[in-house]
Amino acid sequence: MNGNALVVGGGIAGLAVARGLLRGGWDVQVRERSDGPPDTGGALGMWPPAMAALDHLGLGDQVRADAEERSGMSVARADGTVMARATVEPAHLVSRSALLDVLVDGVPADRLRWGEPVARADVQGHGFDVVVGADGLHSLVRGAVFPEVPEPRPLGTVAFRGSVPGPMETVTETWGSGKLFGATPLDAERTNWFAAVRTELLHGHEDLGHAATVRTLFADWHPGVGHVLDLLPDHGVDRRRLYDLPPLSSYARGKHVLIGDAAHAMAPNLGRGACEALRDAAALATALTGQPTVERALARYDRVRRRPSGRVVRASRLVNGVATARRYARVRDSALSAAGALLKARERVVRRP
């Protein structure tokens, strides 16, 4: 089937579905409120199912060319003692900007309108066969079409992230009481870092800038963390409160459909939000081009994607809570040292279709 689609939001999900629909012969209009691709920086780990979705969209090799491949990670204590190591299926670490460049590249300029927010009155999408809500955590489309869905739930943690010069060979996370710090390769010359901190630990740091807050919170951690902190610039650190979305009873209603964070925003602790957005985009484009009616296509997309993405939301929430635990941090560390349990759980979630 062919038709025309309004895609609300030009992030990873919106651009990817636009690529898939254009490839399938659909007419597409993407409207993005920002003036260009978001510049939040950082590396995204693309797990095998996401790479398969990119291959399906004809973009896998372009992303591989820009990516660093890693198949191992470790979790350490704040003093540097390694609690667990795991070899997982290889993930391709790619900078968010490189991924967005690949996605933007094949969307004709007249099909992608930057600096054009969709207003609530436009959500009905008169003249379009399908309206895709790819507008992220605080989705306008979700609010308008699925008014019964509760607001995103605060996870009680705040994320900081950025990059520093210099290569990084390994993927590591360090877990302390109420906070974690991670570092991965960004590309051949830069290191990606991220931190998550329980909100209450930030009290008393309100007057500090983001970089100074991170330096203060992790000042006495092991030298691997210290090395990154020494290189931290005063500006360019992204800070945001973390939320996830309660499960929806459907991702589609009438001609409206939700993908990416609009459908299943999740804690970043499994590094899966963008991966799931790409899988949504490939599944939706396949359904819309392969099924005879929009109704059947959206029903098929919902059937294929809602349960698997919901599982990842639940697992991500669990890992967010455990990794930044305060009261049971010592018990957690012992359990992790003994079994590498959480890494294995992470791997199981990653492997499930």
Ligand X SMILES: Cc1cc2nc3c(=O)[nH]c(=O)nc-3n(C[C@H](O)[C@H](O)[C@H](O)COP(=O)(O)OP(=O)(O)OC[C@H]3O[C@@H](n4cnc5c(N)ncnc54)[C@H](O)[C@@H]3O)c2cc1C
Structure tokens at 213: 């807050």
Residue 60 touches ligand X, criterion: CB under 6 A = no
Nearest approach in angstroms of CB 342 to ligand X is: 17
Binding mask 175-194 for ligand X (x = CB under 6 A): -------------------x
Count Cβ atoms below 10 Å from residue 273 Cβ, excluding itself: 24
3-state secondary structure of 103: helix
Instruction: Return the structure tokens found at 11.
Output: 């992030």
CA 106 – CA 19 distance, rounded (Å): 7
Q: Which stretch binds ligand X (CB under 6 A): 68-76, 223-231, 255-263, 295-303?
A: 255-263
Dihedral of alpha carbons 285, 289, 294, 299, sign:
negative
9 is an interface residue for ligand X by CB under 6 A: yes
Cβ of 122: how many Cβ atoms within 10 Å? Answer: 17
Pick 29 or 62: Cβ nearer ligand X: 29
Question: Do 46 and 243 form a contact (C-beta atoms < 8 A)?
Answer: no
Binding part of the chain for ligand X, among 21-29, 77-85, 259-267, 299-307 by CB under 6 A, reads 259-267
Edge-to-edge strand list for the sheet holding 112-113: 112-113, 27-31, 4-8, 130-133, 256-258, 252-253
Please give the residues from 115 up to 144 whose contact with ligand X meets the rule CB under 6 A.
117-118, 134-137, 140
Stretch (H or E) spanning 47: none
Among 5, 8, 131, 322, binds ligand X (CB under 6 A): 8
Contact string (CB under 6 A) for ligand X, positions 273-292, x = contact: xxx-x---------------
Residues from 27 through 56 that contact ligand X (CB under 6 A) = 31-34, 38, 44-45
Distance CA 54, CA 42 (A): 19
Quick one: 141 or 333, whose CB is closer to ligand X? 141
Measured distance CA(341)–CA(273) in Å, rounded = 22
Shortest distance, position 184 Cβ to ligand X, whole Å: 8
The minimum distance between CB 162 and ligand X, in angstroms, equals 10
* Residue 12 or 284 having the CB closest to ligand X: 12
Distance of CA 348 to the CA centre of its chain: 18
> Between residues 268 and 310, which has the closer beta carbon with respect to ligand X?
268
Residue whose CB is less far from ligand X, 210 or 333:
210
- Say whether residue 321 binds ligand X (CB under 6 A): no
From the CB of 265, what's the least distance to ligand X, in Å?
7
Tokens coding 79: 């003093």
Nearest Cα residue to 40 out of 147, 194, 174 = 194
Residue 272 and residue 189: Cα distance in Å, rounded? 24
Q: How far is the CB of 19 from ligand X (least distance, A)?
A: 13
**Which residues between 70 and 109 bind ligand X (CB under 6 A)?**
none
Which residue do the tokens 């931290």 mark? Answer: 232
Q: Which residues lie near ligand X (CB under 6 A)?
A: 8-14, 31-34, 38, 44-45, 117-118, 134-137, 140, 159, 161, 194, 240, 260-262, 268, 271-275, 277
